[in-house]
């Protein structure tokens, strides 16, 4: 076998609930619109249109307890709380009824968005990339393995800014559930161990400003949470 011409890059990791274990992160997939109430607040069609995806890289993950420096090119930095699913086995074109077999666990995540830049991109038919993918634009809590977690439709997620509740929803309100999202994404992309999927945000998204403190929580008996600051 040929040698590698440069050293292979180290991967980002996410810690596991109640264990001294790290999960190695690979691709970060995100679904665009997956709760009716959020589709309506964004002026979009809340019907069950096929889901659409975009992608962040795992290199931009902001760690729990970290600080996101307010980016200079936006005046509308938004939070989006989301249930995140972690993939532990390779799978291509997997059925929704089989999807549970490739899930390692769940965390809560925040998909941070430059809403003004995303809107310009949307309105001019350009990709969402510049509004969605920037350093620190995805935050993850520690992962609750499925053996210690409720089913995703029994999980609730919430987000508070400076202690004030801004978002809260049951994950049963998703338009496309976790198993369906995995199946649909895997129709065209081979999912691999280490991939994660942000499953969309409920209503209540809003602006962050410098010095804000954000707390996002996955509510269930084995709860998980993350916090970060805007610096
Ligand atoms: Mn999102």
Residue 94 CA to ligand 1 centre (angstroms): 23
What protein residues have CB closer than 5 angstroms to ion ligand 1?
80, 111, 201
**Domains, the chain, ordered by start:** 14-230 (3.90.850.10)
**Gap between the Cα atoms of 84 and 72, Å rounded:** 28
Q: Say how many Å lie between the CA of residue 34 and the centre of ligand 1.
A: 9
How many angstroms does the Cα of residue 30 sit away from the middle of ligand 1?
6
pLDDT tens per residue, range 105-153: 999 999 999 999 999 999 999 999 999 999 999 999 999 999 999 999 9
**Distance from the alpha carbon of residue 202 to the mean position of ligand 1, in angstroms:** 9
pTM as predicted: 0.96
Are 113 and 32 within 8 A, CB to CB?
A: no
Q: How far is CA 201 from CA 35, 94, 112, 166, 231, in A?
A: 6, 24, 11, 12, 24
Q: Buried b vs exposed e over 112-148: b needs ≥16 C-beta within 10 Å?
A: bbbbbbbeebeeeeeebeebbbbebbbbbbbbbbbeb
Helices of type H across the chain: 36-41, 115-123, 129-132, 178-188
Instruction: Count the residues in the chain.
Output: 231
pLDDT of res. 47: 80
Q: How confident is residue 49, by pLDDT bands cut at 50, 70 and 90? A: confident
């Amino acid at each position: 076998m040929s040698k590698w011409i440069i050293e292979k890059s180290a991967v980002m990791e996410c810690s596991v609930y109640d264990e001294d274990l790290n999960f190695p992160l690979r691709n970060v997939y995100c679904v665009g619109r997956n709760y009716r109430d959020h589709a309506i607040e964004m002026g979009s069609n809340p019907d069950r249109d096929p889901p659409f995806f975009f992608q962040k890289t795992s290199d931009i993950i902001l760690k729990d307890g970290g600080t996101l420096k307010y980016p200079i090119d936006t005046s509308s930095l938004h939070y989006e709380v989301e249930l995140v699913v972690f993939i532990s086995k390779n799978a291509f074109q997997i059925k929704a009824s089989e999807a549970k077999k490739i899930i390692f666990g769940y965390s809560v995540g925040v998909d941070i968005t430059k809403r003004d830049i995303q809107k310009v991109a949307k309105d001019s038919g350009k990709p969402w990339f510049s509004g969605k993918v920037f350093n620190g634009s995805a935050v993850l809590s520690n992962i609750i393995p499925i053996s210690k977690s409720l089913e995703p439709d029994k999980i609730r997620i919430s987000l508070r800014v400076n202690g004030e509740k801004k978002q809260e929803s049951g994950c049963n309100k998703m338009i496309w559930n976790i198993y369906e999202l995995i199946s649909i994404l895997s129709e065209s992309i081979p999912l691999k161990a280490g991939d994660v999927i942000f499953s969309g945000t409920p209503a209540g998204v809003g602006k962050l400003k410098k010095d804000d403190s954000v707390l996002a929580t996955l509510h269930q008996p084995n709860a998980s949470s993350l916090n970060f600051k805007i610096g």
